[in-house]
Amino acid sequence: MATWSFKAMRPWLFGALAATAIGTGLVTTQYRPVEIQVYSPAGARTLKLWTFRSKVRNILAQAKIAASARDVVRVKTSSAGTKTIAIREAIPVWVRTAHHHFKYWTTDYHVGSVLSALGIKLGPLDKVRPPLTASLVAGAHVDVIRQWLENKTITSSLPFSVTYRPDPNLIKGHRQILQNGRKGLVATTVQYLVQDGTPLHNKVVAKKLIQPPSPEVVAYGTAQPITINGQTMMITKQMYMVSTGYWPNPSWSTGLTASGTPAHYGVAAVDPSVIPLGTQLYIPGYGYAVALDTGSAIIGNRIDLCFNDQGQAMDWGVQPLMVDILGN
């Protein structure tokens, strides 16, 4: 710590000056020693002097020290009569937060002290630049960076798999969906590190399966195209129809079709205005058939397939499907 002091005057000179001053009526106070301590970011310095003056501002003026209204001045007098004046110089610093940027005057020259005086509390993830323990100089900038964690749950779909099965009742090159696939659902919890409202980076912290995916089952045809009278029958048209099953029950049926042929497996009842009688057909899951019969309930895009017994017809039930119209 540097020390400045006036050179001590000789005792006889002090005495002469004091006598002269008293004789002329210039002195109204006691001639006393004063120590001035000045603190700033650059360090501390001490100045010692003798003075007749009693007011602090007058003593500082004598010492050519300019103290501002923002400085902190403390005065202490020892038992020996020595007056000590301690001055802490106020300096301006700039404080920046996420939403504010302002100038603050302080006589504490450390970052932590400034934030404490401003009532700025830090969270566990917050950052300060420069660090809390750093010293400050006039015009320094203190940045308070707020950081926190946020969790967000995102629901996304999972793709379903497709399983293929051979079907001898399907013409080769054709496919039929036996079971529609269903996408699964998964909830993913993502944790974000947010800095002053802006996400910096993220990581997955949890995953929960809400709904597992269901596979799609597709049948593919292995049957060769039918040959009738030496001619290969090809698909000339496809029609979406609602199919049902029946059997020639002797209790209510003659066993003959509308065409006069015996009803048996491979006979289909149709609406002749939609599918002419005698048309060769291919029905997925049933096989080949010929439109040889009609029925009072078979109107429009409906088709009734003949089975050999009641059990087969009941098992077929009602099925919407695509019917292949064959031709050469």
- HEC string for the chain: CEEEECCCCCHHHHHHHHHHHHHHCCCCCCCEEEEEEEEECCEEEEEEEEECCCCHHHHHHHCCCCCCCCCEEEEEECCCCCEEEEEECCEEEEEECCCCEEEEEECCCEHHHHHHHHCCCCCCCCEEECCCCCECCCCCEEEEECEEEEEEEEEEEECCCEEEEEEEEEECCCEEEEECCECEEEEEEEEEEEECCEEEEEEEEEEEEEECCECEEEEEEEECCCEECCEECEEEEEEEEEEEEECCCCCCCCCECCCCCECCCCEEECCCCCCCCCCEEEECCCEEEEEEECCCCCCCCEEEEECCCHHHHHHHCEEEEEEEEEEC
pLDDT of 213 > 80? The answer is: yes
Determine what percent of the chain is predicted with pLDDT higher than 90.
67
> Is 2.40.40.10 the CATH number for 225-327?
yes
Whether the pTM exceeds 0.75: the reply is: no
Residues 130-161 have pLDDT tens digits of 999 999 999 999 999 999 999 999 999 999 99
pLDDT average, residue stretch 222-247 = 80
Give the confidence band of 27 by pLDDT, cuts at 50, 70, 90: very low
What local confidence, expressed as pLDDT, does residue 255 receive?
84
Checking if the pLDDT of 9 tops 50, the result is no
pLDDT value of position 7: 35
Average the pLDDT over 262-282 and give the result: 94
pLDDT, averaged across the chain: 87
Give the domain ranges of the chain.
2-88, 92-145, 149-218, 225-327
Task: Check whether 20 has a pLDDT greater than 50.
Answer: no
Give pLDDT, residue 267: 95
pLDDT band at 229 (very low <50, low <70, confident <90, very high): low
% pLDDT > 70, the chain: 89
pLDDT 10s digits, 40-88:
999 999 999 999 998 999 999 999 998 889 999 999 988 777 889 999 9
Q: Is the pLDDT of residue 208 over 90?
A: yes
- In this predicted structure, the answer to whether residue 300 has a pLDDT above a threshold of 90 is yes
Return the higher-pLDDT residue of 192 and 249: 192
Over range 96-111, report the average pLDDT.
94
The answer, yes or no, to whether residue 8 has pLDDT greater than 80, is no
- pLDDT surpasses 70 at 201: yes
CATH number of this structure's domain 2-88, picked from the four choices 1.10.260, 2.170.130, 1.10.3470, 3.30.70: 2.170.130
pLDDT at 29 over 60: no
* CATH (residue range 149-218): 2.20.230.10
Confidence of residue 36 (pLDDT cuts 50, 70, 90): very high
Q: Which residue has the higher pLDDT, 105 or 98?
A: 105
Mean pLDDT, residues 163-190: 90
